[in-house]
Amino acid sequence: MNVIYRDNISLTGRDSAPYQYLQVKPVTGALGAELFGVDLGQNLDDAVIAEIRRALLEFQVIFFRDQKMTPEQHRDFGKRFGELHVHEYVKGLDDYPEIIRIIKTESDTKNFGGTWHSDVTYHTTPPLGSILYALDVPEVGGDTLFASQYLAYETLSEGMKDLLDGRTATHSAEPIYGKAGAFNQRYKDSTTMVKPEEEAPVLVTEQPIFRTHPETGRKALYVNGNFTTRIAGLSEADSAPILQRLYLHCTAPDFCCRFRWEKGSVAFWDNRCVQHYAVNDYAGQRREMHRVTVMGDAPY
């Protein structure tokens, strides 16, 4: 099947029906599309929201350019797709706790999200997706990479699929958001990023290694280096070589796209089938993003 987009070019493997309200241009064969002809700061009709959701499901991550949103408009756009997550560990805006600020200053050497991961998979109902809005970007650098976990699953060997089918893995907030975790070590002196320590316990849950997307029915690989700690029934030591093999596989270049940010750009990714990586290659430059995260369902 084909998808028709702005220049009447077709791409195999996707819905053939034309879009009525959006101009949609795929950016790679693996995943990703830029969407044109919509102002996310407006109160969009349900039909337009439905097409944005359709594009998200088809392309896994979608991008918008030249947007202008107040925090209220950003929050309200996110709420059109579901309940918003108030982060357990990262401080939100004072008046909009659903919105977290992701800032790297000129003097910072490390960034937020600079490893391959899916967001907050330690939650029993991890996110449907996240909507990231660029307020300030470096002149050069600061791109974000995205990787299709559908393709990661589909290209696994049959032997690996047989080995892991039906198995679960432990996902924990401890490595990143625990007291000695990477986030708290990096931002321990920050008053804009870190919540008071007593506000949230460390969350741990079990997730399927292969999850079925609740809307598309496709299977995706669902482990990530930030939060997956071991395979159920195996020790961390026994799990480690299998997990490391999966981490290496799931971010292969053929599964990826790369987004170059501009001020006013927006990325909306499907956290159920995508991993992402914030590239830290802009030393001495400032980057500020606002993010809202839409909650999803319990994986199966």
- Catalytic residue (choose from 14, 53, 213, 291): 291
Domains of the chain: 86-295 (3.60.130.10)
Cβ partners under 8 Å of residue 103, min gap 6: 112, 192, 193, 286, 287, 288, 289
Q: What is the pLDDT of residue 188?
A: 63
Is the entire prediction scored with pTM above 0.75?
A: yes
Distance of CA 215 to the CA centre of its chain: 17
Answer yes or no: 276 catalytic. yes
- Catalytic residue (choose from 14, 74, 85, 276): 276
Give, for 229, the enclosing helix (H) or strand (E): strand 228-231
pLDDT digit string, tens, across residues 106-120: 999 889 889 999 999
- Catalytic residue (choose from 119, 230, 272, 287): 119
Q: What is the pLDDT of residue 201?
A: 85
Q: What is the pLDDT of residue 179?
A: 80
Q: Are strands 61-64 and 33-36 parallel, antiparallel or unpaired?
A: parallel
Answer yes or no: 290 catalytic. no
Q: How far is CA 65 from CA 119, 259, 281, 289, in A?
A: 23, 11, 22, 14
- Catalytic residue (choose from 53, 85, 87, 117): 117
Other C-beta atoms lying within 10 Å of the C-beta of residue 188: 11
- pLDDT < 50 regions, the chain: 1-13
Q: What is the pLDDT of residue 6?
A: 31
Q: What is the pLDDT of residue 182?
A: 78
Answer yes or no: 291 catalytic. yes
Q: What is the pLDDT of residue 173?
A: 94
Rounded Cα–Cα distance for residues 192 and 161 (Å): 43
Question: 218: which 2 tokens?
Answer: 């496709």
Q: What is the pLDDT of residue 16?
A: 66
- DSSP β-bridge partners for residue 172: 204
